[in-house]
Amino acid sequence: MKLELILHRDLFLTGENIDVDMELTNNGHTAVDAPILDSPQNAQPVYRLQGPSYTGGLTFNLRDSRRPGGSSAAADTALHRLAPGLMMAGALRLNAIKPIAEPGEYTLSARIEWGGWSAEAAPVKFRVEKAKFLESSLGVDALARSARTLRAVWLADTGAGRLLGESFLYEKRPDLGEVDVAGTRIIRHVDAKASNPFCPWTNFDRSAAMKFWHGWQEGATLLAFSDDEQGTRRFDMGSTKAQLVRPTLMARSGDLEALVLGADGKSLRLARFPAHEGSGSVVAWSTELPEEVKGIRLGIGPESGGSVRVAAAISQSGLRLAVRLIRIGEKSAEVVQPIFVENAFALPESEPAVAIGADGTVHVAVLVASHPGLRSLAIADVTVAANGRPEATLAEAGKVESAVTRAWTVYPATAEGQRLRTWLVRTANGAMLGGPQLAPVAAGGPIGDFLRMSTANYVLAVDANRGPRLVATEF
């Protein structure tokens, strides 16, 4: 009998899941009964873990780890009949059974003794690095069935340098706002100047995609990396003050598109990273806007409606708020005439919400101030029908104690549920408040993103020690 432990990498970060695969092969000539490797009722295999968290070494099995003092009777053991030449597989989430909190080098081994035979796996070694998680953002399969599976791409500093990675999050109970961390992975080492990590949004199930893009910034350079390529693509944004418009988008073809707002706040360029390797990046088009942009967001409609892409740009025009739609084409952009909202003032770092219907109707919502003091809030709603007819309304949204310094407005990222917008603000006194009642939000760390799903709202909080977590709000 041959027993193997398999680690798919040898470097993990503190707080990260450490998943171990197991394989037991019958290399003999007769069938044998073998304990099912990952059954929680089995006392075999027996594992030994050694490292900084367990300096004297620790021996354990799955049954006793879950049921201390449980019976060791053979009748309790779940068995599998393993014919000659066949293999049985299992999996173990090591840190869920035995916490690994201290950084350093670890060794894990395993042994089975059963029914007159034995098998011992060669030890596997891995290293755990202390991580300081810096920032994170979400990648979503918007409007798709897979929208409940989310990706949080992050940057973290470790003793081995700065790393780009991602955590896989799953909305387990939409009605209760329950989210599980399904796994994490380190994507690659990046430069110490790396910032603003991103993962493109799609409007289809990403598991069917040709590419798996991730990206980040280094000063004025935008970098993109796909798992199927060796090299890194680059795009010169022109200035460290240029802004990457959220979110980046990936087409079903695998092309990555990134909209860049210039340092002057008026120039827009669409950078395209073609799916085929070695093609670098290209400027698909560029255009100029008549006024400085105070807030901007990119939206994409469903595939059934042609995957229409529209950016909503917010600017101030005297005592009026101007909302401009930029309709994005393959080689050009159409800047639509502005829709004005009277007696509305743009908030600092205010990101609007954009939703596009299958018929091409565009909905934009943005939290604004109804007074220059930026404490009396209102929600501006703009609808541009498929025939081009615009409508704009303004409704009160409460008052905050100190001026708003950052604002997010979002529509649901899912196809389910009503098209209800909601909002979140950060104020000068450090308060985080959201929703129609401006309820307080306790995130437990800096907020990297804000998301509405079918029924629940979440903030993406970055825990410096544990990484990104989706925290359900109370509104």
- The pLDDT score that the predictor gives to residue 431 is 95
My answer on whether 228 and 317 are in the same domain is no
My answer on whether 142 and 114 are in the same domain is no
My answer on whether 326 and 396 are in the same domain is yes
My answer on whether 109 and 10 are in the same domain is yes
The rounded distance, in Å, linking the Cα atoms of 120 and 124 is 12
Whether residue 442 lies inside any domain: the answer is no
Structural element, H or E, at residue 95 = helix 94-97
Domain span at 56: 2-129
- The pLDDT score that the predictor gives to residue 135 is 97
Q: How would you classify the pairing of strands 249-250 and 243-244? A: unpaired
My answer on whether 322 and 340 are in the same domain is yes
The rounded distance, in Å, linking the Cα atoms of 221 and 242 is 10
Give, in order, the Cα–Cα distances in Å from 135 to each of 348, 448, 469: 20, 6, 11
Per-position pLDDT tens, the chain of length 475:
999 999 999 999 987 889 999 999 999 999 999 999 999 999 999 999 999 999 999 999 999 887 655 444 455 899 999 999 999 999 999 998 999 989 999 999 999 999 999 999 999 999 999 999 999 999 999 999 889 999 999 999 998 899 999 999 999 999 999 999 888 899 999 999 999 999 999 999 998 888 999 999 999 999 999 999 989 999 999 999 999 999 999 999 999 999 999 999 999 999 999 999 878 899 999 999 999 999 999 999 999 999 999 999 999 999 999 999 999 999 999 999 999 999 999 999 999 999 999 999 999 999 999 999 999 999 999 999 988 899 999 999 999 999 999 999 999 999 987 889 999 999 999 999 999 999 999 998 899 999 999 999 999 999 998 899 999 999 9
My answer on whether 169 and 276 are in the same domain is yes
My answer on whether 140 and 257 are in the same domain is yes
My answer on whether 170 and 245 are in the same domain is yes
The rounded distance, in Å, linking the Cα atoms of 369 and 371 is 5
The rounded distance, in Å, linking the Cα atoms of 107 and 424 is 46
Closest CA to 16 of 127, 172, 125: 127
Whether residue 411 lies inside any domain: the answer is no
461 within 8 A of 452, measured Cβ to Cβ: no
pTM of the model: 0.88
Last-in-domain residue among 378, 401, 424: 401
Whether residue 183 lies inside any domain: the answer is yes
Whether residue 474 lies inside any domain: the answer is no
Q: How many domains does the chain have?
A: 3
Phi, psi for 247 (deg, rounded to 5): -90, 165
- The pLDDT score that the predictor gives to residue 387 is 87
Last-in-domain residue among 341, 369, 401: 401
Last-in-domain residue among 401, 428, 448: 401
Whether residue 269 lies inside any domain: the answer is yes
- The pLDDT score that the predictor gives to residue 208 is 84
My answer on whether 105 and 150 are in the same domain is no
Residue 440, amino acid: P
Whether residue 379 lies inside any domain: the answer is yes
Whether residue 203 lies inside any domain: the answer is yes
Whether residue 64 lies inside any domain: the answer is yes
My answer on whether 356 and 268 are in the same domain is no
- The pLDDT score that the predictor gives to residue 68 is 53
Structural element, H or E, at residue 65 = helix 62-66
- The pLDDT score that the predictor gives to residue 75 is 54
My answer on whether 136 and 46 are in the same domain is no
Number of C-beta neighbours around residue 273 at 10 A: 27
My answer on whether 77 and 16 are in the same domain is yes
